[in-house]
Amino acid sequence: MADEDQPRDRDATRLARASLAADDPTGWFERLYAAAETGDAIVPWDRAGAHPLLLEWIAQRGIDGTGRRAMVVGAGPGHDAELVAGLGFATVAFDISETAIRAARARFPDSAVDYVAADLLDPPAAWQAAFDLVVEVMTVQALPDPPRAAAIAQVSGLVAPGGTLLAVAAVRADGDPPADGPPWPLTRREIDAFATGGLEPVTIEISRHDQSPVDWWRAELHRPR
């Protein structure tokens, strides 16, 4: 059984390192969720609710999703997706881990969210430029580079004309060495890389929240119609 006295990221770190050693940078997600399902691991980002910086951003913007589509990248436990769907968006949320998707459906059995197992590095063609709001919270930072740069481009490609991307990730200051992740916090250059395929930055800020001692990027980008 996972030991709650150990650091919450212990299991993710162990499985990620084994996956990277096998040249499989994404395979550890399924192994982590499968182990968590049997009580043999802790998913470190499985908290009580949606990410605080997403909650704050929504409160600031007063967003109404009625008649619009949203995508949540890296569904994980499902809290972010449920929040977005509650704004009125027709919401799709995907994760590469089929176990994570099953767990989210079980956690929210009456959910309006369409939970889907899919690979960010090879998403369905029908998702390209299809969503009015795309939310990416802590998913890209869970990938080493490579394939992080490819993942950033895929996230940006989901945003429809007139749509918005919100990306949240831990900060890696310029000049700091890469972290011995996961996670692998993002540099300003990597955050700026979301502005591709016509996306334009609206705000890129460094924030803090009470549940974390580290600095966080919160980047809002828009694709003109």
pLDDT bin (cut points 50, 70, 90) of residue 4 is: very low
The residues, ordered by sequence, that sit 6+ positions from 185 with a Cβ below 8 Å of its Cβ are: 141, 169, 170, 171, 172, 179, 214
Over residues 122-149, the pLDDT tens digits come to 999 999 999 999 999 999 999 999 999 9
Q: What percentage of residues in the chain have a pLDDT greater than 90?
A: 88
Annotation: CATH topology of 52-222? Rossmann fold (3.40.50)
Q: What is the pLDDT of residue 96?
A: 98
Beta carbons of 152 and 140 less than 8 angstroms apart: yes
pLDDT tens profile 26-68: 999 999 999 999 999 999 999 889 999 999 999 999 999 999 9
Name the pLDDT band for 208 (thresholds 50, 70, 90).
confident
Q: In what order do the strands lie in the sheet with 159-170?
A: 114-117, 90-95, 69-73, 131-137, 159-170, 216-222, 200-207
User: Tens of pLDDT along 150-198?
Assistant: 999 999 999 999 999 999 999 999 889 988 889 999 999 999 999 999 9
State the average pLDDT over residues 66-80.
97
pTM, 2 dp: 0.94
Residue 164: strand pairing partners:
133, 222
Taking each helix axis from N to C end, the angle separating 27-37 and 98-107, rounded to the nearest 10 degrees, works out to: 40
SS3 call for 214: coil
